[in-house]
Homo-oligomer: A and B are copies of this chain.
Amino acid sequence: MLISEFAKATGLTQDTIRFYIGKGLLKPRRSEKGGSNAYQIFNEDDVTAARMIRLQQSLGYTLREISALNDEYRKGMRSPKRTAQIMRTQIGKLEEKQAQVENALAFLRDKLQWIEAGKPGDTPRLNDYYC
């Protein structure tokens, strides 16, 4: 897959893709021919990686963090134990994020209740849910 097709498959622009490659977030292989300007060739794993990057980004992770995680993941590729460990760390982080979302939702739902019920008690405070 060349860059234009990859761009369509992922919804990223070619510039963004090249930017990510420059940052080491994507590592497509290169065709042998063509010397220093050889075309970059993407596969399905690159598509998955790109989606994962977008997802992580929408959850508030910086490219630096995402890159660090992916690098570590790549480094541990040979040892399944190490890979599993990294994945558990990542799952742990996402579970934290999940807890944050749930806390915010609890706060908003309480406040909505409070508004709709015509203020019987004290207004809910975020402090009680997010420390």
For chain A, the count of residues having a C-beta within 8 Å of the partner chain is 39
Q: For chain A residues 34-68, which have a beta carbon within 8 Å of chain B?
A: 44, 47-48, 51-52, 55-60
- The answer to whether residues A55 and B91 also contact, given A60-B60, A84-B112, A126-B48 and a CB cut-off of 8 A, is no
Residues of B within 8 A of A125 (CB): 44, 48
Interface SS of chain A? helix
Least CB distance, A54 to chain B, in whole angstroms = 9
Number of copies: 2
- The answer to whether residues A115 and B52 also contact, given A98-B101, A100-B59, A105-B94 and a CB cut-off of 8 A, is no
Confirm or deny: A1 has a beta carbon within 8 angstroms of a beta carbon on chain B.
Answer: no
Q: For chain A residues 89-113, which have a beta carbon within 8 Å of chain B?
A: 90-91, 94-95, 97-98, 100-105, 108-109, 111-112
- Whether A88 contacts B100 by the Cβ 8 Å rule is no
- Whether A94 contacts B80 by the Cβ 8 Å rule is no
Partner of A55, one of B47, B56, B80, B100: B100
Confirm or deny: A15 has a beta carbon within 8 angstroms of a beta carbon on chain B.
Answer: no
Partner of A101, one of B51, B88, B97: B97
